[in-house]
A and B are shown apart, each in its own frame.
Chain A
Amino acid sequence: MSKKNILILLAVLTILGGYLGIRMYNKPHVNVAESDPDLVLFSQTLLDDFESDEISANEKYLEQIIQVTGKIQKLGTANGNGTITLTNGTSIGSVICHLSEKENKKMVSLREGQEIMVKGICTGYLMDVILINCVLVN
């Protein structure tokens, strides 16, 4: 290989490496709306799992995209984004779904007592199970 070809090869590799580096640095956040859920279950099952054994529930659910079906107990907002509290009414705890910014406009169509399906990322359990970046599933 001539010196010129080696230089061209090096230049191409550098540009490619730089491009991949920048792409990785700017890697987008997980798009929940376009991702298939890792787990599909009732909100109550999710809550029961955390209430009975938080450590194993963390192993199973943390950072996973979870789709839950549950009854709306309360609709609210947190720092401008909609929140949906799902519960069956008998537990003290609940599953709190924090909607992604794009989903906010769908809040107006929701009513307390309605049964819905929500998909989001589980970040853990405080008094309630928390799902963030949530989208409504039709």
Chain B
Amino acid sequence: MGLAHGQEKYITKQGYISFFSHSPVEDIKADNNQVLSIIDTSSGQIAVSLLIQSFIFEKSLMQEHFNENYMESHKYPKAVFKGKIQDLGDLTADNKKVSITGELTIRGITKPIETTAEIKKMDDSIILNGDFLVEVKDYNIKIPSIVANNIAKTIKVSFELVHQPYN
């Protein structure tokens, strides 16, 4: 029983999540390679958490502003998503489109979120790929007017999570 239960859980501690901001002035991208994600295939439950300070920018000054001014990562070190993959069913090596609903917490503020993603099972890995949009104002992130034109109002978040059996 315990063993069977364990085999339904899949985990990654090195998932990849990036975000992208496009504006007429500049494009800004940051990458995070230390994302923790756990999927329970029996229920479709998924929990993803990441550390804000693990986002790496090309420019260290942007990274500094992101952490200190916008995200206040000392006060709110994590972002967390908890949700459910709808109609997970049986997984094959072919990508299957699924919808995911849940709650995303950033800067201590929790908002419902809904997105679609692609999921497949290759060998022992469960691979979940997709992207969704986040409104900056939903999470009370204050962008000073002097850089308002440099940062998009809507940020695209992309994820690539390669889970292994959790044992």
Give chain A's interface residues, CB within 8 Å of chain B.
24-30, 58-59, 62-63, 76, 78-79, 81, 83, 96, 98, 121, 123-128, 130, 132
Any A CB within 8 A of the CB of B137: no
Provide a sorted-by-A list of 20 A–B residue pairs whose CB atoms are within 8 angstroms: A24-B61, A25-B61, A27-B61, A28-B60, A58-B74, A59-B74, A62-B73, A76-B14, A78-B14, A79-B16, A79-B33, A123-B51, A123-B54, A124-B52, A124-B77, A126-B34, A126-B49, A126-B78, A127-B36, A132-B54
- A-B pairs, 3 with minimum CB distance: A78-B14, A123-B53, A124-B51
Q: Are B53 and A63 in contact (CB under 8 A)?
A: yes
**B13 sits at the interface (CB 8 A):** yes
Q: Knowing that A124-B54, A132-B34 touch, tell me 12 more A-B residue pairs with CB under 8 angstroms.
A: A26-B61, A58-B77, A63-B74, A78-B33, A78-B34, A83-B14, A96-B34, A98-B14, A123-B51, A123-B54, A124-B53, A128-B13
Chain B contributes a number of interface residues (CB within 8 A of A) equal to: 22
> In residues 131-153 of chain B, which contact A (Cβ within 8 Å)?
none
Interface positions of B (Cβ within 8 A of A):
13-14, 16, 33-34, 36, 49-54, 56, 59-61, 63, 67, 73-74, 77-78
Residue of B nearest to A128 (CB): B13
Q: What are the residues of chain A within 8 A of B16 when measuring CB–CB?
A: 79
The tally of CB-CB contacts under 8 A between chains A and B is: 66
* Neighbouring B residues of A128 by C-beta, 8 Å: 13
B162 to chain A, nearest CB (A): 10
